[in-house]
Structure 1
């Protein structure tokens, strides 16, 4: 039915994801449409999703799906000023997208965990204006001692037998690197996808943006500097190219959606097979080579680089950067796709920067040139997101 709606485009079903969903673009807005199967014969109008009883007898996927909606609704009860919260969250979403760290599937931020981080800063500084909260967002999370959990409310067990995040009882929860805990029952870690590599990248971005905010406060930079697009293809020496191919557009939608949902597995396999010696920086964008048929392929990229010494888990492992075994395991995972056909393929290549497709570097250079032109034109002084209040920065 959705495919027949006039304003819907690029619709892709991802049934194999942890939270099954339909990805689509509606009226030029990207939407992830999740589902839940309730234990009800008929779903009544105005059903109260905040009632704990609605979670009874749900499977894990349905619980996670419904939890996202419940958290989004509950957040408004936990922040001191809803309008301020919304303003800062919009800024942080834009920031994460231009900095290339907005993709929960790849181990970066998603909408829910980002909202929780913003809400926590709003709780810490209840009287602050949006511009100040934006600065505080980066300073707070820059110095945060991960894996200390981020909590908006106490963790409560409502007694339905659903698993809640509790590292004291669940050994697997002790492995979480960046626990950002949802405030509604069952409380869960919304950043279970984060890997050693992606955590390191996000921490670098917090530090970078905290520094930029400091320069903005001093008057050395303007607010647009905080939202400058991060370079990717000009920063690293080694890359992986993951080329996803299929016989036609419809087959490609299914296959590419599944492959993208499993790219994190490749990151984890590379980290494990090299003892943490190699870090993987995934690009959140997908590409198509203009010289090839658009309906038969997608390209994904990951940068490879040596990990900082203090993050290497096994000093003896990883002396060789042979990742062939990791790639083989990843491909075996892909070919277990229940709708896989002989015409669906995934080719993983190691490329030096100089061997990257020309259109990638040309696109990045064009973006950089446009950025330089904007600076040369000398834009008018940009205002921050919100005016200061008299009691700004007062802590609750």
Structure 2
């Protein structure tokens, strides 16, 4: 038990009561719904994952042996050098689903370098049977090799320990293993150490897994599952669920989910979420401690990892994404209360997001290259900077909220001639280009393949001030120009082979690929009905586009310099956004989100059963 107490966590439980009969009933229906939603993998896929991991473990040992011999070690010493893999993330937590990747850490001895990992091991991967992809990203914040073996996607990290050999029974729990390691190795080790610590700190692992499966599916369906885009990633969601499990150690999954939404909606951010008391560790490096490091208070929704060195897992959260998540917590609490009362079903909780129906205006960021390998790295670089664009948009007058979508849309376009290359790089993919196949351009002069990834940001505009007349001008030139400058500062940016374009688009002009089949209304049905005299129209529905759409080009069309063609003639190099970028804005949607998160004392929301006090869980003394 934590801190010598008879309970897990940094405070006493809110309630140690057993779940009642109704909560047991809804837990059964919750698991049934999770199975209907396809969150559990098949037995065959589970076996295949074990086989693939076994092959990776053997390959890591072979890799260490190969490098050891090249360093002059004897056959016996090279064989004894070892090498071991550890899984972490959703697979280690036991909440992965079909098609999920496996986060895997490769631990190697001190004479094996990071360069060896991305040169020798990556090449060994490519030559391995069943490997269809192998792409290293050595310059990432946490360096990684992304691969796919026998259809199973795997993210491979490397940590080099200050040991001459890696025994098969090695445990990563000892903090002293972190001594004399560089920061990248510490970050790589952290994933596995945090995952193991979480499993140790929850009172019932089975209940934790069932509840976490539910929350992960909900967050994915509501499009708020993405650390890179300013929402919460898998680790943060897991720590939130683990904390609720600590507060209700005898509750089962249905009750944990119910309490999760109520408490998270009323949590007194930026009060941190802690699974255990955080103190300075043996290395005497910076860890999260609000008394020693008050600057960490700048984090909007701090969720602190439990393994040393502790860090904030939610440093990417922005004002906009916090508002979005708070609103989703509120909606979730209302639905789950109805489920408990028997007036709603669990399937209602997992309803798909309405992101592409919610706003009248969107920004789309298009990253393009002429190479599939290069596109992975370039699109990933652009995506990692989207959050910076969102934060800059938040400072624009009249922008109430900038809502990034959690993933980009990849496309491969087969073009004939420079004009089509330019069109695709700008996001204007005609029906002719969209239908064209690879064989249609083979042997044709001037034919090129363009790989593009498009990211979307929804813009919620503040209501027009009383008495204001005519359209308003929304100037987004500064944030978009600064963003394009920022991504071009990437050390591997090549103007001749990489394109980056920011464009404004109206909801009616969104491409079909962002919608599921049958989800989009016919174009004619998207217009709002005319309102006669005496009819009421508050113009507040986020799902209904405004009737008075004005013909306008993209956010940068009026002032962008002309497009340029790549000097080597192999891939597009669209120009970015410059000049005085303006968008005409008719009366906006009102009431999409509140401009500030409400004081929890003023929130009217469902109450916890058994007369429990939510304030106990969210007070200043209870993290």
Tell whether the structures are fold-level matches, with TM greater than 0.5: yes
Which stretches in structure 2 are left out of the alignment for 5+ residues? Answer: 1-123, 413-432, 438-448, 464-471, 522-609, 618-623
Larger Rg: 2
CA distances 1:142-183 after superposition (whole Å, capped 9, x unpaired): 111110011111012123122101232224302010000111
Asked whether the equivalents of residues 231 and 364 of structure 1 are also in contact (C-alpha less than 8 Å), the reply is: no
State the TM-score, normalized to the length of structure 2: 0.54
Partner of 1:280: 402
Q: CA RMSD in A?
A: 2.9
CA distances 1:241-261 after superposition (whole Å, capped 9, x unpaired): 111110121221221122122
Partner of 1:299: 454
1:66 corresponds to which of 146, 170, 189? 189
| Within-5 A mapping of 1:198-217 | 198-217=321-340
2:511 corresponds to which of 346, 357, 362? 357
State the distance in 2 between where 1:110 and 1:131 align: 22
Inter-CA distance 82–306: structure 2 relative to 1 (3 Å threshold): same
Which stretches in structure 1 are left out of the alignment for 5+ residues? Answer: 309-318, 368-390
State the distance in 1 between where 2:151 and 2:398 align: 39
Inter-CA distance 168–227: structure 2 relative to 1 (3 Å threshold): same
State the distance in 1 between where 2:391 and 2:355 align: 20
State the TM-score, normalized to the length of structure 1: 0.83
Asked whether the equivalents of residues 88 and 118 of structure 1 are also in contact (C-alpha less than 8 Å), the reply is: yes
State the distance in 2 between where 1:108 and 1:38 align: 32
State the distance in 2 between where 1:299 and 1:364 align: 22
Question: Greater relative contact order: 1 or 2 (C-alpha under 8 angstroms, separation 6 or more)?
Answer: 1
Inter-CA distance 35–307: structure 2 relative to 1 (3 Å threshold): farther
Quote the offset at 1:352 in angstroms. Answer: 1.3
Inter-CA distance 277–22: structure 2 relative to 1 (3 Å threshold): same
In structure 2, the residue corresponding to 1:104 is in which secondary structure? coil
Asked whether the equivalents of residues 176 and 282 of structure 2 are also in contact (C-alpha less than 8 Å), the reply is: no
Inter-CA distance 118–43: structure 2 relative to 1 (3 Å threshold): same
Partner of 1:328: 481
| Within-5 A mapping of 1:95-244 | 95-244=218-367
State the distance in 1 between where 2:339 and 2:153 align: 31
State the distance in 2 between where 1:362 and 1:112 align: 29
State the distance in 1 between where 2:152 and 2:354 align: 24
State the distance in 2 between where 1:333 and 1:238 align: 23
In structure 1, the residue corresponding to 2:501 is in which secondary structure? strand
Asked whether the equivalents of residues 12 and 257 of structure 1 are also in contact (C-alpha less than 8 Å), the reply is: no
Inter-CA distance 268–16: structure 2 relative to 1 (3 Å threshold): farther
Asked whether the equivalents of residues 147 and 176 of structure 1 are also in contact (C-alpha less than 8 Å), the reply is: yes
Inter-CA distance 306–158: structure 2 relative to 1 (3 Å threshold): same
Partner of 1:348: 502
In structure 1, the residue corresponding to 2:228 is in which secondary structure? helix
2:171 corresponds to which of 45, 48, 52? 48
Partner of 1:386: none
Asked whether the equivalents of residues 10 and 25 of structure 1 are also in contact (C-alpha less than 8 Å), the reply is: yes
Inter-CA distance 60–307: structure 2 relative to 1 (3 Å threshold): farther
In structure 1, the residue corresponding to 2:268 is in which secondary structure? coil
In structure 2, the residue corresponding to 1:101 is in which secondary structure? coil
State the distance in 2 between where 1:24 and 1:280 align: 33
